[in-house]
Amino acid sequence: MNQKSEAALDTWINREALAETMIPLIGRLYRENNVVTSIHGRSLINQSVVGILKAHRFARQIDDVELPLEETFPVLQALTELDLGAGSVDLARLLAKFKTEAAGSELKDFLREELAEIVGKRGADARVSTDVVLYGFGRIGRLLARIMIGHSGGGHGLRLRAIVVRKGSENDLVKRASLLRRDSVHGPFEGTISVDEEQNTILANGTLINVIYSNDPSTVDYTAYGINDAIVVDNTGRWRDEEGLSQHLKSKGVSRVVLTAPGKGGLKNIVHGVNHKDITSDDKIVTAASCTTNAITPVLKAINDKYGVVHGHVETVHSFTNDQNLIDNFHKGERRGRAASLNMVITETGAAKAVAKALPELEGKLTGNAIRVPTPNVSMAILNLNLEKDATKEELNTYLRGMSLDSELHKQIDYIDSPEVVSSDFVGSRRAGIVDGLATIANGKNAVLYVWYDNEFGYSCQVIRVLEEMAGVHPMLFPVVAKEPVVEAIG
C-alpha cells in the first residue's frame, strides 16, 4: 500500500473512531436531557457511524468542504456539560454562529449564552404529552407510527397510544405488526416489535400501542384504554368534510382530529412552514392537505415572496398508489382502471388549486395536471412559472439553496445539484420537497423548477409537524433560524 492510500485509510479510521465517540454523547443528550441534535436539519439521533459521517459530509453544500468532526465533537462535549433542558440543537449552525459572531471567546461561554433558556434545566420539558390515535393503518398510518415511535424520547410530545382498524382476518394483529416491521419501499423497522394477542397490543421500541377494532368512528371509548384528550389522525381518506370527520369527536377521549388528505368545505388545509400558524385552539379539525400540495407550496411561497408569481402550471409526475389497479380492471375513475405498473396514466390533481388554501395570494394563478407513473414511491412536480421579476438560473438556485439551509422553510425545502440523482435517491427524505438545481430553467420572467418529493415519508413528516403544532409540543430550536437565507453563492 502506498503512502497516499495509507494516509486516506488512516484518515477514515480516525474519523470513524471520532464518530463512534460521538454516538453515546448524542444518545445521552437525547435520553437524559431531551435534546435532539442535528446537522443542518439532519437528525443525529439513532444514527450509525456512517450516518454521522454522511451528515457531516452534507455540509459541502454550504462551503464546499465537509464539516470536520474535530470541530463538532467539542461542541457535543460542551453541551453534555451544560445540564440542558429540552430543545433541538443544530451543531452546524451553532458552530457557524460561533465562528462568525464569537471568534476569540470560549466555546462553552458562547454555548452557555446562546442556549441560556435551557442551560441548567436538566431534561426539563415544558411540553405536555399528547395522546395520538391513528384511525387507519395504511401506507401513511404506518409511517406516522414509525416516526412517532422514533421520536418518543423521554415520553414528552406526541405519544402514539392506539391504532383503529377494521378486522381483516383472525390473525389480523400479527399481520398489522408484520407490515409495521417490514416495508418493501422504506425498509425494515429500526428496532424491535412484539405482539401480545391476548391484550391486543403491539410493543415497538417501548411504545405500547393498543389495537382497537371498530367500524364506527363515533363509538370508540378511548378512555377505557387510558387515552384522554387525544388527537385522532384519520388516514383512511373515507371522510373528508367536517360532518364526516366530526364523528371522531363523538368518541370518549377525543378532542381534535387531523386528516391526512385535502379537506373539503371550510376546513383549514395546513401546509406546515407556510400557514401552520393559522391553527388556533378553537380548531377541532384540520387537514394536512396532500403530498403534492405540501411539496410545491413552500417552494412557491419562497419564489412568490422574492420574485412574484404572475401565473403558472404545475405538472405532477406521481408514483402509482393503492387507488389504482395492478392490472386492467373496472375503476370508477377515468384511466385509473388501467394497469398501474405498466402504464403512464394521465389523471387530475387538485394540488394547484389547493395551494391557494394555504397561500391565498396565489388564488387563481395556478393550473395543474398529473401523470401517474410505474414507480412505487417518490414523485416530481414541475413548476412552470411566469414571474414578476427577471431571474437567472444561478440567482434562483442560490436563493432556493439558501432557503433550504437557513430560513423558516428549511424543514420543508431541500436542494440538490447532483448530476446523477434519480427518484429512488429521495426515498426517506424528511423534507416536503427537494429542488433539483441542475434542472432549473430560467429565461427572464419565465422559470421552470423541478421539485422531487417522497410522497409517502416526506409527507408523513409534514403531518407530524402539523400534529406537533396542534398539540403545542414543538421543541425549542437553537440557534434561532433566520427568516431570510444567508447563503450568498453556490460555489
Radius of gyration of the chain (CA): 23
Edge to edge, what strands does the sheet with 158-165 contain? 193-196, 201-204, 207-213, 158-165, 130-135, 230-234, 254-259, 285-287, 268-269
Catalytic-role residue among 86, 257, 291, 448: 291
Is residue 461 part of the annotated active site? The answer reads no
DSSP H/E element including 318 = strand 309-319
The residues pairing with 204 across neighbouring beta strands, listed in sequence order, are 193, 207
Distances (CA, A) of 445 to 303, 319, 394, 396, 422: 12, 31, 14, 11, 28
Contact criterion met (CB below 8 Å) for 209 and 145? yes
Residue 377: which of 270, 459, 465 has the closest Cα? 459
> Which residues are CB-neighbours of 204 under 8 A, at least 6 positions away?
145, 149, 180, 189, 191, 192, 193
* Contact (CB, 8 A) for 271 and 289: yes
Query: What grid cell was written down for 399?
Result: 436563493
E strand segments, 122-206: 130-135, 158-165, 193-196, 201-204
205: left (phi over 0), alpha (psi -120 to 50) or beta: left
> Whole-angstrom Cα distance, residue 474 to residue 276?
12
Residue 193 pairs with which residues in a beta bridge? 204
Cell of 109: 461561554
DSSP states along 207-254: EEEEEEE-S-TTS--GGGGT--SEEEEE-S-S--SHHHHGGGGGSTTE
Rounded (10°) CA dihedral 237, 238, 241, 247: -120
CB < 8 Å & 24+ apart, contacts of 48-54 = 49/16, 49/19, 49/20, 49/23, 52/19, 52/22, 52/23, 52/26, 53/15, 53/16, 53/19
Catalytic residues: 291
